[in-house]
Amino acid sequence: MSFEEIIIWYFVFIFSTVLHEASHAFIAFKFGDTTAHNEGLVSLNPIPHMKREPMGTIIIPFISLFSFGWMIGWAKTPYSLRWADVNIKKAGIMAAAGPISNLVLLLITSLIIHLGIGIGIFNPHPFHVKISSLVLAAEPGQLEFLTKILSIMFSMNLILFIFNILPFPPLDGSGIPLIFLDDEKGKRYLELTRKPSYSIIGLFASWLLFGFLFIQIFIFAMNLLYPGGHYS
């Protein structure tokens, strides 16, 4: 892996992760919880997020990149448990905000790829696609740098979206059901998902399930991105 590709992976990871966490913080702030706002996390400035979680934003991403060929990591947005207890549905929307931000980035990246194909600067239907090379420049040159960014942006946000919507605590997906629960059931659900033992089990189950699901979802996403590509 080239130094250029490592830099792109990290830039895309930080941008996507910070947007994810800032989305949580922004929605919580708009719904009345100032906890994350008071720590400067309603911002795309990566420094407050990195200072709060250096392991998940600096160390683990590079370990995962050199181990697996792609980056994974985390940051954390604090919120008031008391606020969540009395704002069940709002807490659910806050949980959904992070993954939705990654889905939006995924869709924007897809649109840029198709615009590039439409004006002839990208090649349609690459014969081989991989996580860091799923769109190719029509001609060699500076556009190859852009195609690398777009490829990694697509893959990184697909990874973040899929992983975070898995319905296990402490992932965001475990909070999304709160949107559909009444206050009484929501409080009982929160009490259950906050148990430390469930979080440990949830992380283990999420990692196993993600490894099983991702390649299938990646192939499905490629066939949506390039209809008629017949990737398998």
| pTM tops 0.75 | yes
Instruction: Kindly state whether residue 230 falls inside one of the protein's structural domains.
Output: no
Burial of 67 (0-12, 13-18, 19+ CB in 10 A): exposed
The range of the structural domain enclosing residue 142 comes to 3-225
Instruction: Kindly state whether residue 232 falls inside one of the protein's structural domains.
Output: no
pLDDT digits 0-9 by tens, 65-109:
999 888 999 999 999 999 999 999 999 999 999 999 999 999 999
122: enclosing H helix or E strand: strand 122-123
pLDDT at 62 over 80: yes
Instruction: Kindly state whether residue 194 falls inside one of the protein's structural domains.
Output: yes
- 74 and 16 in contact (C-beta within 8 Å)? no
Count of domains in the chain?
1
- 143 and 136 in contact (C-beta within 8 Å)? no
Question: How high is the pLDDT of residue 142?
Answer: 85
What amino acid positions are annotated as catalytic residues? 21
Distance between CA atoms of residues 167 and 81, nearest Å = 19
Instruction: Kindly state whether residue 165 falls inside one of the protein's structural domains.
Output: yes
E strand map for 127-230: 136-137
Q: Token pair 């995962």 is at which residue?
A: 64
